[in-house]
Amino acid sequence: MPADRLVAQLNAQIGNELASHNQYLACAVYFDALTLPQMAAFFYRQAEEEREHALMMVQYLLDTDAAVEIPAIPAAVCSFDDVVAPVALALEQEKRVTEQINDLYRIAREEVDFASEQFLSWFIKEQVEEVATMGDLLAVVTRNRGDLEQIEEYVAREAGTEDTDPTAPAVAGA
């Protein structure tokens, strides 16, 4: 079983991942209301991915006989000034989540918890990809804020559906 402080932080991270889910859902709804179907679909997929990350952590805690506590989450930002704002918010969110995952990994290492380190390694790899994806999208949206069709074309071409990662941790309820 993981150390108590790692269990507490993993439970907190479940809340962080669910908050990310809600924030991405709010971004998706914003883009859906603007009739930007590619951007909306991208953010709906991101929301689902964050939910899956939370459920991966739930499953890990269950597998290690640790207590699972689903924390309260803050309200998502739902109003944006322009099409750049939700993407900028998403990039900052991914950077924050990266710090949170790194903190979890650090705790696992300090506790000499090899199983938790291995579990968290996948999330470290995932965060590199997430920050890069959002950084690229922010650059494109910023450059093309006056040409929404260019943004839609980019997302359709570059940010389509992803293949399932066979190295991903198990998702609770899947």
Please report which confidence band the pLDDT of residue 166 belongs to, taking 50, 70 and 90 as the band edges: confident
Question: How large is the average pLDDT for residues 86-107?
Answer: 98
Note whether residue 171 is domain-resident. no
Give residue 11's pLDDT.
Answer: 98
Note whether residue 55 is domain-resident. yes
Q: What is the CATH number of the domain that holds 8?
A: 1.20.1260.10
Please report which confidence band the pLDDT of residue 160 belongs to, taking 50, 70 and 90 as the band edges: low
Map residue 76 onto helix, strand or coil.
coil
Q: Domain range spanning residue 128?
A: 4-158
Please report which confidence band the pLDDT of residue 174 belongs to, taking 50, 70 and 90 as the band edges: confident
Map residue 140 onto helix, strand or coil.
helix
pLDDT score of 10 more than 70: yes
* Upper half-sphere CA count for residue 51 (Cβ side, 13 Å): 13
Note whether residue 172 is domain-resident. no
Give residue 172's pLDDT.
Answer: 87
* Upper half-sphere CA count for residue 130 (Cβ side, 13 Å): 26
Question: How large is the average pLDDT for residues 74-92?
Answer: 97
Note whether residue 174 is domain-resident. no
Q: What is the dihedral of CA 87, 93, 98, 102, to 10 degrees?
A: 170
Tens digits of residue pLDDT in 98-146: 999 999 999 999 999 999 999 999 999 999 999 999 999 999 999 999 9
Question: How large is the average pLDDT for residues 91-97?
Answer: 98
Note whether residue 163 is domain-resident. no
Domains: count for the chain:
1
Give the residue from 17, 6, 4, 101 showing the smallest Cα distance to 53.
17
Give residue 79's pLDDT.
Answer: 97
Note whether residue 56 is domain-resident. yes
Note whether residue 150 is domain-resident. yes
- Token digits of residue 82: 């322009």
Tens digits of residue pLDDT in 25-70: 999 999 999 999 999 999 999 999 999 999 999 999 999 999 999 9
Residue with structure tokens 């790899």?
A: 125
Give residue 162's pLDDT.
Answer: 66
- Token digits of residue 173: 């309820």
Q: How far, in Å, CA of 113 to CA of 102, rounded?
A: 14
- Token digits of residue 167: 């190295």
Note whether residue 166 is domain-resident. no
Give residue 110's pLDDT.
Answer: 97
